[in-house]
Structure 1
Amino acid sequence: MDMKTSRLLGIIGALFMVIGFLPAIGGILMLIGLIFVIIALKGYGDYYKDSSIFNNTIYTIVLEIIGVVVFVGVIIYGAFEFLSSLGIENIYELNSWTQIDWQNAIDINNILPFVGAIVLGLVILFAFTVIASLFFKKAMNTLTEKTEIKLFHTTGTVFFIGAILTIIFIGFILIWVAFILLLISFYESKPTG
């Protein structure tokens, strides 16, 4: 793939990722944008003969997927343990739901393990997100060296800081800003020749 195609895919992908933060249409556009950006970064890596750009991007994606899967698994396990403590062994059996004494069932001893599972899941997801963002930052730093566009470095840094600050939710805004910076970075990386 030539540099012009990689650049165009990067621009479109980053634009989709920026728009993907909108609640109504976000999910599918975010996914399509992510795929386009991955392909674009593969093209940049091939063009500059540096596989670390693509590899670090893949590490980012894989770590995020693992983090989400573990998070969901911990939450599901916690939910089933909570339901089990209420005496519900089969969630599809309606009779078991009607026989619960809800006033006595909502006890701190029943709720605390579920809340603990949620907190544990969030901590695991947070850790994977921060580690993944380091790999994305490395990919952006390599792109800065190859393209001499310093905005790629800024993109990686803002993304990393955003990942750290997701714990207080302002990080999601910074990650969105990083996607905007990525869009501008791809736009500024005009192909030579």
Structure 2
Amino acid sequence: MGMEPEIAKLLAGVGAILAAISPVNRIVGIVGVVLFLVGAISLADFYGDQNMRNDAIYWFIFIFIGLVALMIGAVAGAFSLPALFTGHLLAGGFGLAAFIATLVIAWILFVVSARRFRNMMSSMAGRSGENLFQTAGSLYYWGAVLTIILVGFILIAIAFILAGIAFLVMKTPTKTQT
């Protein structure tokens, strides 16, 4: 037997709001993302919506891989700076190119994950009747697209807050909603 829908929506709602704090406090953000994911998957299972479940899982996988790419890029960038300053242009240039390449790869993964997030929120809106999910999904998607110019991080934080509110105010689902 799965998690009760009231607990799942509470986990997803609180998790989404905590995830919005991620730029300020990474640990709280990570806890929030995990709570959000568990709650969203539980609700997808409750609804019997395999596509919603897959969207939640793939959203998380693409975000995780994108963050790993970003960390690799940061390390490459950090190691390239001393080489550039000491006149080793080939080594520095390679490190800088690796840094830029990983930034692009991470950005692409974030946009792909955002499509999954938007799909998940759209499904949640359809299942719950709460249209705030639709808005959260769109804001998250455009936030991911705009992370390349940094303003997107603000949109993603707002999207998480709206998703959290949507989960917390949505009517408790019943098994008859399919």
TM-score (norm 1): 0.79
The residue type paired with residue 31 of structure 1 is: I
CA deviation after TM superposition for structure 1 residue 11, in Å? 2.1
Structure 2 match to 1:72: 71
Question: Could you say what secondary structure the match of 1:69 adopts?
Answer: helix
Establish whether residue 168 from structure 1 lines up as the match of residue 149 from structure 2: yes
> What is the deviation of 1:75?
5.1
Q: Does the Cα contact within 8 Å between 1:78 and 1:113 map onto a contact in 2?
A: no
1:44-84 CA-to-partner distances (Å, cap 9, x unmatched) read: 1122111222211110111122223234345545766x59x
Q: Is the 8 A contact 2:128 2:171 kept in 1?
A: no
2:12/2:164 contact within 8 Å kept: yes
What is the identity, as a one-letter code, of the residue corresponding to 1:44?
Answer: L
Contact kept, 8 Å, 1:75 with 1:117, in 2: the verdict is no
Residue type of the alignment partner of 2:54: N
Q: Is the 8 A contact 1:38 1:54 kept in 2?
A: no
1:132 equivalent to 2:113? Answer yes
The two structures, once aligned, show a CA RMSD in angstroms of: 2.4
Percent identity of the aligned residues? Answer: 29
The residue number in structure 1 matching 2:127 is 146
Q: What is the CA distance between 1:144 and its match in structure 2?
A: 1.0
* Cα distance change of structure 1 residues 187 and 128 upon mapping to structure 2, 3 Å threshold: same
Aligned position for 1:9: 11
Question: CA-to-partner distance for each residue in 1:85-116, whole Å, 9 max, x for gaps?
Answer: 96xxxxxxxxxxxxxxx97x325444322221
- In structure 2, relative to structure 1, the CA distance for the partners of 1:192 and 1:110 (3 Å cut) is closer
In structure 2, C-alpha distance between the alignment counterparts of 1:142 and 1:68, rounded to whole Å:
26
Q: Which has the larger radius of gyration?
A: 1
Structure 2 runs not aligned, ≥5 long:
none
- 1:106-165 alpha-carbon deviations (Å, 9 max, x no partner): 254443222212111111110111011101111111111111111111111100000000
